[in-house]
Structures are given as structure tokens and as C-alpha cells.
Amino acid sequence: MSPHAVLTPIWQRQLGTVCRTCRIKRLRPRLVSVGAVQKRRYFTPVTSSEDDSKEGDGDGREKVVILGSGWAGFVLSRRLDPDKYRIVVISPRSYFVFTPLLNDTCVGTLEFRNVLESVRKRNRRVEYIQAWADDISFADKTVTVESSVLDPDVGHALTGPRKTNSSVEKPTDKAPGPGHASVEGFIDQNVQMGGTGKQQAPTFPVRYDKLIIAVGTYSQTFNTKGVRENAYFLKDVGDAVAIRRRILELFELARLPIIPEDKKRFLLHFAIVGGGPTGMEFAACLSDLIREDISRIHPELLKYIRISLYDVAPKVLPMFDAALADYAVKQYRRQNVEIKTSHHVEELRKGFPNDAEAAQNQDEQRPGLVYTIRTKEEGDVGIGMCVWSTGLMANPFVAKALNHVLQFPAESAQITQGEVADPSQRQWTIQRDPKSGSILVDDHFRVNLSAQAAEGETEETVPQACMKDVFAVGDTTKLKTGALPATAQVANQQALWLGKALSKHPDPESFAQSAGFTFRNLGVFTYVGGAKAVLQGPNTDHEGIAKGLKGWVAFLLWRGAYLTMTLSWRNKFLVPMQWLAVKLFGRDISRF
């Protein structure tokens, strides 16, 4: 009889699902004798998942630790076979963001939860620890992590090493510093306090059998003055929440009868920096909001609204062929988006344009009412907000944790090039791209090592090795076989390939002999507003005939394609419902 027999009927039905899939058996459940009748209401399997010091958990599965919960890490956690591997995801945030729909959430076309997927799965085949990865010891096969449950940086784009992240209080910020609870009195005595953030946090080790680095990238400000403190980024859901609030706040402020007209013009001037798909899509979504909802709710404000999109390049949407890019730009012009190419942003600050005093007294602690963006071509321009959606920079974790000079991890690495009698006599470093800092990986996504060059050794003869149990995927990597763009599509395909390959070939030798990864370009699409999108087909040769689609067809393809990717059934259900509600009833503009 089922070991759950002691439970009352009210619970059996709930837990029947758990029984039927037989998951609990694999994790060696034991009933906890809990004494009092009323506590018997809950079934409490005890597993060894909290015990990270043991390798595997005695049931024959290797323990795979995945660092990151973005496109690469999340898809991989779903693709690996949980019968073969014990899957542990370590990420500072407990959810995955479906980034193609993030723009929709900024303006209320979708709700934030519609674009999130929790890392934890309800049937518990994926385990999760909420922490930053700080360092890796390849010899001990251990990752040192730092708890991030209370970290205010979680959910926001990062623009630099965490200690230097701006403490400007955006409305969704949980400000760091003295206002934040310390866990010090709270944890096991032998846990170290440390970490790389502004405040110390508990750090602890997590062992692995296989490690997959999918930590992604940070947002690049190109060190433009004031951007880190004053811009709104568009990488994570915390950013989207801040943007949405700010947009609605600007309209509400401009409606106050006490704001003079010239100030209203500043408040309602929206600046977007970055002419790639993200920035253009945001401009499109904002334009939808204005045309469909603001025009009905705040029609008096329409005449003050401007949207300006800046880019240093002479052309926006460079990955599209000319006909499609022109069509997209024409759509934007119809919606009053001014596209300013070949503009160089030099500064972003709080205060009015051409106000030298405000320019001097940039108080970091006070969010601005009006901002000023200064470009080389136009000088000072007054704006309500600036959304920065350009450029990626290498993750500092990669720079820190993978910059060691290592002893040769004999168990984990094998020589792939060069002659070396005793590898342990040489010093080794992880191979990284000298320009971008990305991790160089082979077509099986294995991290590679190079020995420090000895006398007379060239690039072709210096000894190289590859790690059998450490992999890297996604934005943070660069394939030796040929660089790919840092997009969701690429990360998605890489993670799917690696998950399938590792599940099929758990043994490193057969894995090494399997066919390597090749990228299949499924095209690029960009939403251009007004329920239209442009889709560039797989033929990306700009000089050839582009198999592009336009207008409504692209839009339907786009929405349909999105729904079949990665979203859970909950969101596959709720996203169309939400779109339908917006179509019928308009967007909600409540600010809270």
C-alpha cells in the first residue's frame, strides 16, 4: 500500500499526482513521524537535496550545476534528462524572462508575470539555489556562491561590477546599504560572509560533477557619462517595471494643471538609445500605447509627445535587407517616431537642458523629474526618460572566476593540442576572447585551456586542453568555429543541442565523438508597431533576394512563433488572453 496511507482523504487526492509519477521514490522519501494529529495533514518527504556536500545523491545520477537562468541556462535545465542527471540551477533570480515579450510589458500590453517562468518546476526535477556564482575551483569541482535572496540588484540590468552599481533609487529599487536586512545573525555559524556586492552576504560551496556556465552578459554603457545612473535599461523584469511606472508617471505629471506648457514638452519627450531590434521594438510598443490608449485618456497631451530614437550607426536594423528596413522605418515615421541615426550620445543627466548649475549638482540620490540628453550633433535636449538598449559587456564573473592561473585539473581535462610530458608542470589559463572577454568554446561547448606559452611555442604549438566536465553556452561564449550573434535564438539552439547531447552521451568519450553544434538561422523579426512586424528569412545575404515577409503576415507569424517557444502552458494560455483583453478593452494605466 502506498506509504501515504496515513493521510486523510483531503490530501490524498492532492498528492496522488506526486505518487503517480513516482518521483518521490527516486528521492528516497521517508515519512517524518510528526506526532500531533493536525500535523499529519502535510506529507513531508525528506530528500538530500539540501546536502550539497555529497557528490550526486547516491542514486547514480551525476550532478549537473547550471549557472544562470537566462535563455541558455533555463532551456538547458528543461532539456537535460532528469533520469540521468540531478539538475541544480544556481542563479541570482528565480525566474527566466521571455525577453522577446518584455517590451510588451513595459507599456501594459502584457503583464510582467506573463513573460516569466519560474526556474523551479512543480514536479521538482529541477533544483534551484538563489545565489550569485562568485568563484570556481576546477580542482575541487566546486562553485562558491553567494546568497541573493535579499539582494536588491536582482531583477535589474547590471552595468558593471556589483559594488559599483548605482544606488539611484528607481521606484522599484530595494535600496542597498543600511536599509537592507543583514542575514548575519541568522545562518549557520560556519558559513562565510563575503561576496562581491555592496554588502556582505553568506557564501557557501556547491559541488558539481558537470558544470555549465550560462551567466550571460551585462549591459554596456560605453562609459557614457551619466548613463549608468540615469538611464532605464531593458534587460530584466525589474527594468520593465521601472519603465512602465515612469511612463505612466510622466503622463500623470503632465496632466497636472500646474505644470506649464514648456515643461510638459520635456516630460513627454521619450528618448531611446539603440537602433537594434530591442530599441526599435520598444519605440513601437510605446507608440502603440500612445495611439491606442493615451489618445483616448489624455488627448490633451498628444501634442506634446515626441519619441526620438538615437543610434551612432548610419542605419538602423542593419541585419535586415534594405527593403524591409525601409518599410520598418516608414512605419515608425507614420507613428511619429523620429529616428536620429549617426548621433553620438555624450551625456545623460538630471535637470533641464542648458542649465549649467543643474549639470554641476547631479545629486545621485534624487531621481530626476526631467532629464537632459546631450548628443554631439544636437547638444542638450530635454527629455522625460531615456531607455538605453544598446550594447553588451562581458560578465565580471567570467573575468574574475575564469581568470585564474590553474594547476592542470587532471581528472577533468584532456590535452587536445601540443606535446607536453607532464601537464602539471605547466601553468594553464581558460581560453577567452582577447577583445570581448567571452569564453572560447569548441563546437561541443567545452571550456578550453591554454598553457602559458613557453620559449619557442607559437599559437599553433602551445599545449591546449579541453575540460571534460565544464561547459559554457549563450551570450557569454564565443564559438571557435565562428562567432554567432548574442541573441535569444542562438542561446536557445545552443542550449537545446547541449542538453540533448549530454543526455544522449553522459560519458565524455562518446560525447566528444558525437557531431558538433551547427547553428540554423531561422530568421530575425522585429515588431514595428500597429500590429505589424518585419521578418527576415534565413537567407541573410543582403545582396541576394531576401526572403522577407511584410506587414500582417509577419505579425501573425511572429505572435504564433513566440507562443510555441519556451513559454509554459500557463503563459501560453494567459498571453493570448491578455492580448485579447487589450485588443477589446485597451491597456490598464493604473500606477502602483
Site for its own copies in 191-230 (CB under 8 A): 191, 202, 204
Distance separating alpha carbons of residues 468 and 476, to the nearest angstrom: 19
Interacting residues with its own copies between 414 and 443 (CB under 8 A): none
CA atoms within 13 A on the CB side of 348: 25
Q: Choose one: 111-119, 396-404, 430-438, 549-557; the region binding its own copies (CB under 8 A).
A: 111-119
28 binds its own copies (CB under 8 A): no
- Nearer to its own copies among residue 257 and residue 560 (C-beta): 257
Closest approach, Cβ 305 to its own copies, in A, equals: 7
Binds its own copies (CB under 8 A): choice among 2, 25, 59, 182: 182
Distance separating alpha carbons of residues 226 and 349, to the nearest angstrom: 6
- Nearer to its own copies among residue 350 and residue 432 (C-beta): 350
Place of cell 491606442: 292
Supply the angle between the helices 71-79 and 488-504 in degrees, to the nearest 10: 30
208 φ/ψ angles, rounded to the nearest 5 degrees: -140, 160
DSSP symbol at 294:
I
Helices (H) and strands (E) in the chain — how many of each? 16, 28
33 binds its own copies (CB under 8 A): no
Binds its own copies (CB under 8 A): choice among 2, 6, 123, 461: 123
Interacting residues with its own copies between 223 and 282 (CB under 8 A): 237-238, 241, 249, 252-253, 255-260, 263
Please give the size of the binding site for its own copies, defined by CB under 8 A.
114
Beta strands in 343-487 (DSSP E): 345-350, 371-375, 379-383, 385-388, 392-393, 413-417, 428-430, 439-441, 446-451, 464-472, 477-479
Binds its own copies (CB under 8 A): choice among 12, 112, 341, 519: 112
Q: Choose one: 70-78, 311-319, 557-565, 581-589; the region binding its own copies (CB under 8 A).
A: 581-589
Binding to its own copies by CB under 8 A, coded x per residue (else -) over 302-341, reads: xx-x---------------------------xxxx-----
Q: Using alpha carbons, list the distances in angstroms from residue 520 to 98, 429, 497, 511, 565.
A: 20, 31, 11, 21, 16
Closest CA relative to residue 451, chosen from 484, 480, 478, 416: 416
Pull the grid cell for residue 22: 513516482
Binds its own copies (CB under 8 A): choice among 299, 314, 434, 482: 299
Q: Choose one: 288-296, 422-430, 493-501, 532-540; the region binding its own copies (CB under 8 A).
A: 288-296
Distance separating alpha carbons of residues 553 and 557, to the nearest angstrom: 6
Binding to its own copies by CB under 8 A, coded x per residue (else -) over 69-108, reads: ------------------------xxx-------------
Closest approach, Cβ 158 to its own copies, in A, equals: 15
Closest CA relative to residue 177, chosen from 195, 161, 147, 197: 197
Interacting residues with its own copies between 396 and 415 (CB under 8 A): none
353 binds its own copies (CB under 8 A): no
